Amino acid sequence: MKFTSVVTAGTAVVLALGLAACSGGGGEGGGGGDDDVAITMLPKNLGNPYFEASTAGAQEAAGELGVAVDEVGPDAASPDAQVPFINTAAQQGVSALVVSANDPTAIGDALEEARSAGTKVVTFDSDTEPQFRDLFVNQASAEGIADKQLELIAEQIGGAGEIAILSASANATNQNAWIALMEEKLASDYPDIELVETVYGDDDDQTSFDKTAALLQSHPDLKGIVSPTTVGIAAAARYVSTSEYKGKVAVTGLGTPNQMREYVEDGTVEAFALWNPTDLGYLATQAAAALVAGDITGAEGDTFEAGRLGEYTVGADGEVLLGEPFVYDASNIADFDF
């Protein structure tokens, strides 16, 4: 009996102290009273270099605007794990929630509840259905991605010659839309460039590697490969970097700096494109602050000033477009780690 009492009292005290200690520390970290603008940044998951870059951008914007940004998030990128964090933001009554959605509908109810409590909701990177948020900060438009890739390949092959596309799977929605736009644009604006073949690496490293080898075998005059998928461009660059084609066949497309770093450094790849996640987090935070301040409501045609990125206009369906894709090359790749 005595020991049960001791254990009861002891454990209760430990837990109570623990909770009190945590609340003391967290309270200071949370920063600011009720009058201040508090923004919660909720990426798909924590520990993901891509979102670490976007949160760095959010913090940069917060510093300039004088608002507080707290990053919270689950350790796995699943929607059910994101919901408790959205609920918490609603309980805290934060001014705005900036979220990259793990599911377009599953977190919708939680977001609606947060909004009914007065919290502004901005999605970035991955959108929800439009009715669940005030704004979506879109990283790139299909036209922008298609145009930028053609611009890069044209520059790298000197404006004329045979090119091929190494895509993801044959029914990948995004890639197919971009390829269709590139085909149109090639026909109208690049008469000297010929698209000889489109192959599919299924977003599998080995398949993409093999398809690259096959492309180069069957088209001896090939001057460039465009791969609008991060898996494909890395596999193509790996094949070309160790083959006789290195320096003769250009490789470009959409890639991430960490995957492409060694091929940019060894000269296989001159430049590739992707959006800049730091700018994306920066813009999303600027947009959230503009909503909170009442400068914009999220209606089409609203304009707001986004610090170093300049002025932005809200498009149809509450979308704000970050801009043209960002070009990574030897001069800037060292600045990025994702």
Q: Determine the interface stretch with another protein among 17-25, 165-173, 258-266, 326-334 (rule: CB under 8 A).
A: 17-25
- Nearer Cβ to another protein (25/247): 25
36 makes contact with another protein (CB under 8 A)? no
**Cβ closest to another protein, residue 21 vs residue 334:** 21
Pick the binder of another protein from 30, 49, 191, 267 (CB under 8 A): 30
Nearer to another protein, 31 or 158 (CB): 31
CB of 22 to another protein, least distance (A): 5
Q: Using alpha carbons, select from 63, 86, 35 the residue that is nearest to residue 282.
A: 63
**Tokens (6 digits) for 147:** 């145009």
Cβ-based nearer residue to another protein, 16 or 142: 16
Contact criterion met (CB below 8 Å) for 272 and 336? no
DSSP string, 130-142: GGG-SEEEES--H
93 binds another protein (CB under 8 A): yes
- 107 sits near another protein (criterion: CB under 8 A): yes
- Binding mask 53-92 toward another protein (x if CB under 8 A, else -) reads -----------------x-xxxxx-xxx--xxx-xx-xxx
Number of residues that bind another protein (CB under 8 A): 49
Beta carbon nearer to another protein, 20 or 330 = 20
Checking DSSP bridges between strand 222-227 and strand 161-167, what pairing results, if any?
parallel
Q: Residue 29 or residue 301: which is nearer to another protein going by CB?
A: 29
Query: What is the C-alpha to C-alpha distance for residues 238 and 241, in angstroms, rounded to an integer?
Result: 5
User: What distance in Å separates the CA atoms of residue 227 and residue 229, rounded to the nearest whole number?
Assistant: 5
According to DSSP, the residues that pair with 273 across neighbouring strands are: 254, 327
Q: Is 11 in the site for another protein (CB under 8 A)?
A: yes
Among 48, 64, 106, 174, binds another protein (CB under 8 A): 106
User: Which residues, numbered 117-156, are part of the site for another protein (CB under 8 A)?
Assistant: 117
Q: How far is the CB of 133 from another protein (least distance, A)?
A: 16
What minimum distance in Å lies between the beta carbon of 216 and another protein?
32
SS3 state of residue 266 = coil
**How near is the Cβ of 88 to another protein at its closest, in Å?**
4
Of 123, 176, 191, nearest in space to 145 by CA: 176
Residue given tokens 């002891």 in the structure block: 10
Give the range of 54-62, 98-106, 215-223, 300-308 binding another protein by CB under 8 A.
98-106
- The separation between CA 150 and the C-alpha centre of its own chain, rounded to angstroms, equals 21
Q: Could you say which of 63, 105, 142, 267 contacts another protein (CB under 8 A)? A: 105
Query: What is the spatial distance between Cα 214 and Cα 204, in angstroms, rounded to a whole number?
Result: 15
Helix (H, G, I), strand (E, B) or coil at 171: coil
* Position 43 contacts another protein (CB under 8 A): no
- Give the footprint of another protein on residues 155-214 (CB under 8 A): none
Helix (H) or strand (E) holding 156: helix 142-156
C-alpha separations of 275 from 11, 202, 257, 294 in Å: 51, 22, 11, 28
Q: What is the DSSP letter of 103?
A: S
Helix, strand, or coil here: 105? coil
Which residue of 52, 64, 103, 270 would you call a contact of another protein, by CB under 8 A?
103
CB of 282 to another protein, least distance (A): 22
What's the min distance (Å) between Cβ of 69 and another protein? 11
From the CA atom positions of the chain, what is the Rg in Å?
24
Spatial CA neighbour of 252 closest among 274, 279, 219: 274
Helix-then-strand count for the chain, H and E: 10, 14
Query: Which residues contact another protein (rule: CB under 8 A)?
Result: 1, 3-8, 11-12, 14-16, 18-20, 22-23, 25-27, 29-30, 46, 70, 72-76, 78-80, 83-85, 87-88, 90-93, 103-109, 117
